[in-house]
Structure 1
């Protein structure tokens, strides 16, 4: 097995493999960015060295403009994005997550196969069309939207 792996370590072969991978992921990145643009979801800073897209939702109507609601609605469509607040560095827990600078973002991966990426982008399209057709009242019901809605603890006398 080790002898069979030696040709793979050849610098020319490794360079060719690197270039092939870069082309492959660039094509997928460009495809996802183009589809997002068609959905009027522009990416502020296109990725150049990862297979993740940091998508700003601030221009969407509330409550779809926050990562948690966007995540929740896409989950109903069997699609997963990662809410931006999961990447907030807040070690002292001094900030309420709803005041996080990451609150209006989600992270998308363009690592999966192209057909899966298109299925996820189609799900985003369905959620946006649902919002346009039915309005915002149906969105964001699965969690408390602000810290103001968190009830005070109940004191139990015993």
Structure 2
């Protein structure tokens, strides 16, 4: 099973990476879309930590007895103020860099908000459908 999974993973990686290897425009588009996606993902995580409570999160998950790093109260300040400010600044800067009154919404433009929204929406829809199917399979197995 492990060898089969390894072969499948290597094959899918090669096939899915081929367009980026063959086209610099495709590569740049994917770098743009998923680079922004990582910033958003980190922002969502930071927002979740803020909602849960930064100190509670730090004490429960980061200040454990097996942690060899000391995560002090400075972490709370960084998560509360610095991380949201940096995420907002980076996103605004990236959007400003690509703002074009004619094609900011165009999903076929390499660097546009439209291409980000279409690709993120597509992936979220696929993951949502997959999640429901996986949940149904798990429920059927008991």
TM over 0.5: no
- Structure-1-length-normalised TM-score: 0.28
Tell me which of the two structures has the higher relative contact order, counting C-alpha pairs closer than 8 angstroms and 6 or more residues apart.
1
Question: Which structure's residues are more often helix, by fraction?
Answer: 2
